[in-house]
Amino acid sequence: MMAAFMRSLGGIRLRVTLLRWIDHLSRLGRVTETTRRVEEAVLRAVKSWQKAPNLGGNPLAGTAAKPGAGDTAVFTDRVGYVQHIDGAALSKIAEELTCDVVVMAIPGKMVSPGMPLGWLEGKFKDDVVERIADCFVIDDVRSFDQDPRFGAAVLTEIASRALSPAVNDPGTAIDIISRAVRILLAWKESQEANAESEVPYPRLRVASISTADLFDDLFTPIARDGAAIVEVGLRLQKAFRILATLGPEFRKNAVRHSKEALERAGCPSVRP
């Protein structure tokens, strides 16, 4: 009796496993499954970045800053993208040397041998520079982990392909607009949650990711490629209306993109 029961139970488990596997395979080919996974990766990157804004350091004022005559620039011998930066290791070196470390090449930035990753404030020997350079992981492609803008770019690439005449799938672009709104809401919530948090690595000064950058990454390609499609334009305007309620910075960017989208659609006289 017990043996028969166990065989029956084993058969049920096998059928359940097979059904789950069939369901998994059926979802793999769907575009919405792909966009869902990309959205989840972006949300993880957003939360990771905002949990330790600027890699745990202070924001660097001005993205065009350059090392001074008395500073030591840090270079790489590779051409590629910064995938990861070890903020804790950089901070430890900075504390040992009692100097500030400036990071210009944040994750997602393309670098080359003639472009400084950052610099140390003061004159230091080559072995110190090598230690700083070792804190940067550089490879041929971008990575989601510390780079929210990469995920945003991947989402809009999917939308742009869907809006191409060969595919003609505005529904996917509309789906991605909704995901873009959720990503920006998460960015706002994470900003507020960590606004008063203590800076763990005060000797680091790191270039920032701006809200304007994320707006541009998420909406400019869709507004451009969907300019002639009414339903895409309407969903964009609805998205901007939602985002405009999230404070002055979000309102400024939402209004800017609303006007640009209307102009691309041939409606320059319509007020957002």
| 128 pLDDT above the threshold of 50 | yes
CATH of the domain at 63: 3.90.1170.30
- Domain closes at, from 117, 139, 161: 139
Q: Name the strands in the sheet holding 58-59, side by side, starting at the edge strand that comes first in the sequence.
A: 58-59, 204-206, 101-103, 118-120, 72-74
Same domain, 60 and 191: no
- Domain closes at, from 139, 174, 200: 139
Range of the domain at 61: 55-139
Beta carbons within 8 Å of 117's beta carbon, 6+ residues apart: 74, 75, 76, 82, 103, 104, 105, 111, 132, 133, 136
The answer to whether position 73 is within a domain reads: yes
- Domain closes at, from 139, 172, 194: 139
Same domain, 251 and 226: yes
Same domain, 165 and 64: no
Q: Per mean pLDDT, which range of 63-67, 111-115, 227-231, 262-266 is the poorest?
A: 63-67
Q: Per mean pLDDT, which range of 52-66, 108-122, 178-192, 237-251 is the poorest?
A: 52-66
Beta carbons within 8 Å of 133's beta carbon, 6+ residues apart: 74, 75, 76, 117
Same domain, 192 and 116: no
The answer to whether position 236 is within a domain reads: yes
Q: What is the mean pLDDT of residues 113-123?
A: 93
The answer to whether position 19 is within a domain reads: no
Same domain, 128 and 213: no
Domains in the chain, number: 2
What are the pLDDT digits (tens) for 195-207?
Answer: 677 889 999 999 9
Same domain, 156 and 237: yes
* Per-residue pLDDT at 39: 94
The answer to whether position 240 is within a domain reads: yes
